[in-house]
């Protein structure tokens, strides 16, 4: 009778919305999974983490039985859910006035076969999600060509890029998504109802592809609690910073917000900086650079931008670039230069901008006059924060600095394809121009390593 009681009320809950109705108001418990999304596990070649939410935990189930993924290889178009994995559920209480509560479920699928399509659903005996599917990486080796969509600053209002990203995801265009901070606007708003709605919206992308994230300034409320709780990035650092390998690329994700919200203490900044130096140093070892030559870092706030506002990147002494004022401790740009980071990707500005290779405001193009991105002598910075949010577009200065190669106010997102060990290709998609490519360039390197050499 209890399961029948839940089923009778499930349709009402789905119409009214996950966070709009409390369990007290309708006197039921909500067990239905929603907000399903994927991430790479600790091993990108064989692990996927499935994360979802329920309002409450099913009663009287043995440990782990409330968080189950049934999955299996997709064979001849048929989903054969012959395998299962159990995980954990964590209670999350939003910091808002209503102290809205939900349970975040996490299950790791391990020992996945490469180049395989898996179908899965998640939940428990009291309720299951729809059946989704994902494709594992083509090979456990580095010699394949990953394709990604990259963007920041997408809300659940004015999410200009979402429809095209949904369509392209369903067409199998990408191996992963990178969202470079600022979600929902904001996930904590309206007692976290806005966050719930956003996670439901991106399910059409994130339940099919690893959705890799970093925090932005809009996640700050209650010490980034909504962001920390809702995502499942590798590394065990509350999703704030981590790294992962994909094909010939070593991706490094950082929180730029540790430089700006010092009210939460200095420990996150110091811990991240020490971790980053160690991670980059390891990735730059000759034997690792030989195996996986590209290093790409991403974080929310840019070191450089030419926008017409008072954001930190419009100042020469950007905190993330040079570190603390006067003493210049914990500056990131020297690390990027020392360990030969190839590309730095940012968001925050609601626009797109590509820079010439740059270090300390000096353009350091490649040695060939007509090929500035062939063997450049400094990292290449890209700002891609124009996926669409309720705050609108970001204007540019009347006179664009000489280090800025291209800029646009069009809504859109960035595509990256790592073709091989020597060639990366970037494209900027314009939603204003119905998916037209408004900017593209090749980054070509015959050798990788520190720019000091």
Instruction: Look at residue 324 in the predicted model and tell me its pLDDT.
Output: 85
The whole-chain average pLDDT of the chain stands at 92
With a CB cutoff of 8 Å and minimum separation 6, the contacts of 75 are none
With a CB cutoff of 8 Å and minimum separation 6, the contacts of 265 are none
**Are both 34-135 and 140-444 of the same fold?**
no
Comparing 185-194, 195-204, 248-257, 325-334, the range with the smallest average pLDDT is 325-334
Q: Is the pLDDT of residue 252 over 50?
A: yes
For 137-155, how does the pLDDT look when each residue is reduced to its tens digit (9 = 90+)? 998 889 999 999 999 999 9
φ, ψ of residue 287 to 5 degrees: the values are -70, -30
Q: Is the pLDDT of residue 285 over 80?
A: yes
Q: Tokens representing 424?
A: 């990366």
With a CB cutoff of 8 Å and minimum separation 6, the contacts of 401 are 306
Report the CATH superfamily, name and number, of domain 140-444: Metallo-dependent phosphatases (3.60.21.10)
**Residue 328: pLDDT band by 50, 70, 90 thresholds?**
confident
Domain edges within the chain: 34-135, 140-444
CB 196 within 8 A of CB 19: yes
Cα–Cα distance for residue pair 118/115, rounded to 1 Å: 10
> What is the reported pTM?
0.92
For 408-443, how does the pLDDT look when each residue is reduced to its tens digit (9 = 90+)? 999 999 999 999 999 999 999 999 999 999 999 999
In this prediction, residues 129-135 reach a mean pLDDT of 96
For 260-277, how does the pLDDT look when each residue is reduced to its tens digit (9 = 90+)? 999 999 999 999 999 999
Q: Is the pLDDT of residue 359 over 80?
A: yes
Instruction: Look at residue 187 in the predicted model and tell me its pLDDT.
Output: 97
Degrees, nearest 5: CA angle 68-74-79: 60
CB 381 within 8 A of CB 344: yes
Q: Is the pLDDT of residue 23 over 70?
A: no
For 47-87, how does the pLDDT look when each residue is reduced to its tens digit (9 = 90+)? 999 999 999 998 878 878 899 999 999 988 888 899 999 99
DSSP string, 176-227: EEEEES-EETTTTTTTTHHHHHHHHHHHHHHTTSBEEEE--GGG-HHHHHHH
In this prediction, residues 106-114 reach a mean pLDDT of 97
**Residue 29: pLDDT band by 50, 70, 90 thresholds?**
low
CB 253 within 8 A of CB 243: yes
Q: Is the pLDDT of residue 355 over 90?
A: yes
Which CATH number is 34-135 given? 2.60.40.380
Residues of the chain with pLDDT > 70, as a percent, come to 93
Cα–Cα distance for residue pair 198/411, rounded to 1 Å: 18
**Residue 118: pLDDT band by 50, 70, 90 thresholds?**
very high
| Residue positions counted in the chain | 453
Cα–Cα distance for residue pair 102/406, rounded to 1 Å: 44
Cα–Cα distance for residue pair 215/274, rounded to 1 Å: 19
């Amino acid at each position: 009778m209890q399961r029948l009681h839940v089923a009778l009320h499930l349709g009402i809950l789905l119409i009214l919305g996950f966070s709009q109705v409390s369990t007290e108001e309708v006197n039921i418990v909500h067990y239905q999974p929603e907000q399903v999304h994927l991430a790479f596990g600790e091993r990108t070649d064989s692990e996927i983490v499935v994360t979802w939410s329920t309002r409450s935990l099913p009663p009287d189930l043995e440990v782990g039985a409330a968080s189950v993924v049934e999955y299996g290889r997709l064979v001849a178009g048929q989903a054969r859910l012959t395998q299962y994995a159990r995980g954990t559920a964590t209670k999350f209480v939003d910091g808002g006035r209503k102290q809205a509560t939900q349970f975040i479920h996490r299950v790791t699928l391990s020992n996945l076969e490469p180049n395989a399509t898996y179908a899965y659903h998640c939940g428990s005996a009291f309720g299951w999600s729809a059946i989704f599917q994902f494709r594992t990486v083509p090979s456990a080796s580095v010699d394949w060509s990953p394709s990604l969509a990259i963007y920041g600053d997408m809300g659940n209002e004015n999410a200009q890029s979402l429809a095209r990203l949904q369509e392209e995801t369903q067409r199998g265009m990408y191996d992963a998504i990178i969202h470079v901070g600022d979600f929902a606007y904001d996930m904590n708003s309206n007692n976290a109802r806005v966050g719930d709605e956003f996670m439901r919206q991106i399910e059409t992308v994130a339940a099919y592809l690893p959705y890799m994230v970093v925090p932005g300034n809009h996640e700050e409320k209650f010490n980034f609690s909504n962001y920390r709780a809702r995502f499942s990035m590798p590394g065990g650092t509350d999703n704030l910073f981590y790294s992962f390998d994909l094909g010939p690329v070593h991706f490094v994700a950082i929180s730029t917000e540790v430089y700006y919200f010092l009210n939460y203490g200095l420990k996150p900044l110091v811990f991240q900086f020490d971790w980053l130096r160690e991670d980059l140093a390891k990735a730059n070892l000759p034997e690792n650079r030989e195996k996986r030559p590209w290093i790409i870092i991403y974080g929310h706030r840019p070191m450089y931008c030419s926008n017409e506002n008072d954001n930190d990147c419009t100042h020469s002494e950007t905190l993330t670039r040079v570190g603390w004022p006067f003493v210049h401790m914990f500056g990131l740009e020297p690390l990027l230069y020392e360990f030969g980071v190839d590309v730095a990707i940012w968001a925050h500005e609601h626009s797109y901008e590509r820079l010439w290779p740059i270090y300390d405001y000096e353009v350091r193009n490649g040695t060939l006059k007509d090929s500035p991105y062939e063997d450049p002598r400094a990292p290449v910075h890209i700002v891609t924060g124009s996926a669409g949010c309720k705050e609108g577009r970001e204007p540019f200065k009347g006179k664009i600095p000489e280090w800025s190669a291209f800029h646009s106010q069009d809504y859109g997102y960035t595509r990256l394809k790592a073709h091989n060990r020597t060639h990366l290709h970037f494209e900027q998609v314009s939603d204003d121009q119905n998916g037209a490519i408004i900017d593209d360039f090749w980054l070509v390197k015959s050798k990788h390593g520190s720019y000091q050499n």
